[in-house]
Amino acid sequence: MCGIVGYVGYREATKVLIDGLSRLEYRGYDSAGVAVLNGSGLKVERAVGRLNNLAIKLKEHPLTGTLGIGHTRWATHGVPSERNAHPHSSQDGSVSLIHNGIIENYRELKAELQAKGVEFKSETDTECMAHLVADCYSGDLLKALHAALTRAHLRGGNALVVAHKNHPDQVVCVRRGSPLVIGIGKDENFVASDVTALLPYTRRVIFLGEGELASVSRSGAKVYDENLKEIPAHVETTDLSIEAAEKGGFEHFMLKEIHEQPTAIEATLRGRVADSHIDLRELNLDPARLKQVKRIQLIACGTSLYSAMVGKYLFEHFTRIPTETSSASEYRYAEPVIDKDCLVIAVSQSGETADTLEALRLAKAAGAQSISICNVMGSSIPRLCDATLYTRAGPEIGVASTKAYVTQLVGFIMLAAGLGRIVGATTEAAERTLVNGLKQLPEQVKKLLDSDIVGVKRCAKRYQSVFNFMYIGRHFNFPTALEGALKLKEISYIHAEGYAGGEMKHGPLALVEGTFPTIAIAPKGKTREKMISNIQEIKARKGVVVVVATEGDQEARELADYLIEIPECLEELSPVLAVVPLQLLAYYTATQLGRDVDKPRNLAKSVTVE
Ligand code: M6R
């Protein structure tokens, strides 16, 4: 949520900032702005809308200087407008700052400052920090930021980067609940909310820890703890490549990421499936502690929540331990029963989702063991957990999650079966069969991508002008229905609902008529026959049905208005294959409607506010 870039070096700062922001635009795209320091002070340029509007403005009114900060916004407080765009500046223009997060107690801070005569120019929560830093400044910028933080008693997750007109070789920053990474170059250094912004310049990075501050200058970066004591800076080399963060010839990141799924699954399996068993030694799980687990609770949001719903079925199937899935935003306030016999698994692509992070904190405070399934190395959620199974999907830039979802499913399958073996609920034979099935997945997804696109495109074209869709599935593929519906609504803006197949007759069947399409996910498995009955019930009411079925299913072929075939696989692996055509269906429907697939309206990739 919101992209941040800071630069100190020898290049023209605006170029570096715009380039960095273009890689972070997926984090927010309501407005953008930069502040650049030169001989005549801090100069700010901002524009509402996409980053390109700012780039056009900067072409007309170039800002020169080799130190700057830049921001791309996802509005929380105040409508998307130029005056609410970051950077925000102090009244005297000496301080400019950019912010990611929410200052929950900003009203008190604002009132305090207004009482002292400060005039606010925006409706944002952020602006009060610019005034506070200026107020605390007496020659040392880092101390001013620290003092402002102390005075503000900030509530909420926040990251701030600050520049001052008297400091031509320094930006300072703090990470408090929202990520920040420092890029180490030669005679130039960077700050960003995400490593992808830094890849064209450096792969040497320092991930700021929770509560840490940093002072970044042309010659280096110093890191400080929350008491402003300097601490060692751990420079790491990221193995992300610049290509991984670019479109690579695809029209959209989403399409590229859909096509990366075979390699993402392969990478997630690598080293974790041996000949006949699942090998999770890298997680350093403690078998004795795991054997004490009486309940498993899975927490996540959005698409990750749907993978966790599949996870519930997998854990109960492989371990026979009662498992519940909760939306993280609900979990916190639902008074969950948590104790030391409880294993909490937090699932997140970004590792920064505020709702998931807070739910995890609650579970840990109550004594639960914790594991995460996460895609972003070193992000906040894995840092909090006892162990993490990293999905190795690579950077996911499209706001609609695709490759992260299938790799989360693969992560769940391995974790559930691995735990099943530890607690003695999964047999060696079952594990061997599962491993065989897992190994085939990359090739099967590839085959699906190669074969089904034409049919899916045709189907998308036929139904693009429909206003409502129903997606149905059962057991392992009930969450597939939810995920398919979410994909369609978030990128095409067509209303879609996911439902458990068996629930149709309890109400939603009333919606069915001649033009109403239902996507029925009915692969081979113990619920297939029941799904076929559900499809028949819809057909009997003249509804249109698109069926996702296992190759060679003649009955499904006869019933379907459109048939999408997936390769034969174990039932518990079918959600991995069944979701792929649904991602494509959403993608082609959205592109045919001319939607901005990678940046759907009102959304942002990483939701770091509650
Ligand atoms: O980074 P996370 O997996 O924690 O994000 C959770 C959701 O915000 C995310 O899955 C969202 O629902 C996606 N846009 C769906 O495509």
Tell whether ligand 1 has an atom less than 6 A from the beta carbon of residue 391.
no
Reported as a pLDDT band with limits 50, 70 and 90, residue 240 is confident
Does pLDDT of 80 surpass 90? no
Over range 387-415, report the average pLDDT: 96
Checking if the pLDDT of 532 tops 80, the result is yes
In this structure, the residue with its CA closest to atom 7 of ligand 1 is: 302
Indicate whether 241 and 303 sit together in one domain: no
506 alpha carbon – ligand 1 mean position (Å): 30
Ligand 1 lined by 301 (C-beta under 6 Å): yes
Question: Do residue 129 and residue 225 come from a single domain?
Answer: yes
Looking at ligand 1, which residue's alpha carbon is closest to its atom 11? 302
Mark whether 324 and 470 lie in a shared domain. Answer: no
Measured in whole angstroms, the distance separating CA 138 from the mean position of its chain's CA atoms is 40
Residues 319, 235 share a domain: no
Q: What is the pLDDT of residues 459-481, one digit of tens each?
A: 898 888 888 999 999 999 999 99
Q: What is the pLDDT of residue 156?
A: 77
**Cα dihedral sign for 239, 15, 33, 223?**
positive
Last residue of some domain: 424, 448, 472?
448
Q: Is 380 in the pocket of ligand 1 (CB under 6 A)?
A: no
Q: What is the mean pLDDT of residues 420-437?
A: 94
Could you tell me if 241 and 101 lie in one domain? yes
Assigned domain for 598 exists = no
Last residue of a domain, one of 397, 425, 448: 448
Cα distance between residue 169 and residue 216, in whole Å: 8
My answer on whether 485 and 392 are in the same domain is no
pLDDT for 231: 97
Rounded-to-integer distance, Cα 305 and Cα 575, Å? 14
**Ligand 1 pocket mutation pick from 305, 349, 408, 582 by most atoms within 8 angstroms of CB:** 349
Q: How far apart are CA 509 and CA 519, in angstroms?
A: 13
Q: Are strands 342-348 and 295-300 parallel, antiparallel or unpaired?
A: parallel
- Quick one: how far is CA 599 from the chain centroid? 13
90 and 149, same domain (yes or no): yes
Rounded to an integer, what distance in angstroms lies between the CA atom of residue 51 and that of residue 525?
Answer: 48
Higher-confidence residue: 211 or 242? 211
What is the spatial distance between Cα 332 and Cα 549, in angstroms, rounded to a whole number?
A: 38
Residue 600 lies inside a defined structural domain of this protein: no
Pocket of ligand 1 contains residue 302 by CB under 6 Å: yes
577 confidence band (pLDDT: 50, 70, 90): very high
Is the model's pLDDT at 157 over the cut of 80?
Answer: no
pLDDT at 28 over 80: no
**Sequence-ordered strand ranges (E) for 294-386:** 295-300, 323-327, 342-348, 369-374
Q: How confident is the model at residue 417 (pLDDT cuts 50, 70, 90)?
A: very high
* Closest alpha carbon to 13 in 131, 163, 137, 126: 163
Residue 231 sits in the same domain as residue 258: no
Cα–ligand 1 centroid distance for 37 (angstroms): 36
Inform me whether the pLDDT recorded for 453 exceeds 80: no
Q: Which atom of ligand 1 is nearest to the CA of 399?
A: 14
Judge if the beta carbon of residue 408 lies within 6 A of ligand 1.
no
Output the CA 430–ligand 1 centroid distance in Å: 32
Is 171 within a domain? yes
pLDDT tens, residue by residue, 285-303: 999 999 999 999 999 999 9
Whether 124 lines ligand 1, by a CB cut-off of 6 Å, is no
Residue 225 belongs to domain with CATH number = 3.60.20.10
* pLDDT at 168 exceeding the cut of 90: yes
178 CA → ligand 1 middle, Å: 16
User: What is the SS3 string spanning 367-425?
Assistant: CCEEEEEECCCCCHHHHHCCEEEECCCCCCCCCCCCHHHHHHHHHHHHHHHHHHHHCCC
Which of 188, 210, 245 is at the close of a domain? Answer: 245
For 174, the domain range is: 3-245
Give the per-residue pLDDT at 179: 87
229 catalytic residue (yes or no): no
pLDDT band at 244 (very low <50, low <70, confident <90, very high): confident
Distance CA 314, CA 301 (A): 18
Would you state the pLDDT for residue 464? 84
Quote the pLDDT of residue 379: 85
Contact 471/499 with Cβ under 8 angstroms? Answer: yes
Is the bond preceding 87 in cis, omega lying within 30 degrees of 0? Answer: yes
* HSE-up (13 A, CA, CB side) for residue 479: 25
Residue 16 banded pLDDT, cuts 50, 70, 90:
very high
pLDDT at 241 over 90: no
CB of residue 606 inside a 6 A radius of ligand 1: yes
The whole-angstrom separation of Cα 518 and Cα 546 is 6
Regarding whether 263 and 205 lie in a shared domain, the answer is: no
Residue 420, in any domain of the structure: yes
Query: Which entry of 57, 487, 599, 605 is annotated as an active-site residue?
Result: 605
* Predicted confidence (pLDDT) at residue 416 exceeds the cutoff of 90: yes
pLDDT single digits (tens) 44-66: 999 999 999 999 999 999 999 99
328 is a domain residue: yes
Question: Rounded CA gap, 441 and 334, in Å?
Answer: 37
Q: Please check whether residues 442 and 538 belong to one and the same domain.
A: no
- Co-location of 338 and 464 in the same domain: no
Question: Do 45 and 16 sit in the same domain of this protein?
Answer: yes
Question: Is residue 401 lining ligand 1, measured as CB closer than 6 Å?
Answer: yes
What is the pLDDT, as a whole number, of residue 377?
82
How much is the mean pLDDT over the chain? 94
Q: Give the pLDDT mean for 123-152.
A: 95
The values of phi and psi at residue 342, to 5°, are -105, 135
Q: How many domains does the chain have?
A: 3
Catalytic site includes residue 301? no
Strands across the sheet with 67-73, in order?
Answer: 41-48, 31-38, 67-73, 3-8, 189-192, 181-184, 204-207, 236-237
Q: Does residue 599 form part of some domain?
A: no
pLDDT of res. 463 = 85
Model confidence at 378, in pLDDT bands (50, 70, 90)? confident
What is the spatial distance between Cα 587 and Cα 444, in angstroms, rounded to a whole number? Answer: 20
Query: With contact defined as beta carbons under 8 Å apart, do 572 and 434 qualify?
Result: yes
CATH number of the domain enclosing 476: 3.40.50.10490
Please name the residue that has the structure tokens 């599962």: 434
Is 317 part of any domain?
yes
Answer yes or no: is 92 within a domain.
Answer: yes
Whole-prediction pTM value?
A: 0.84
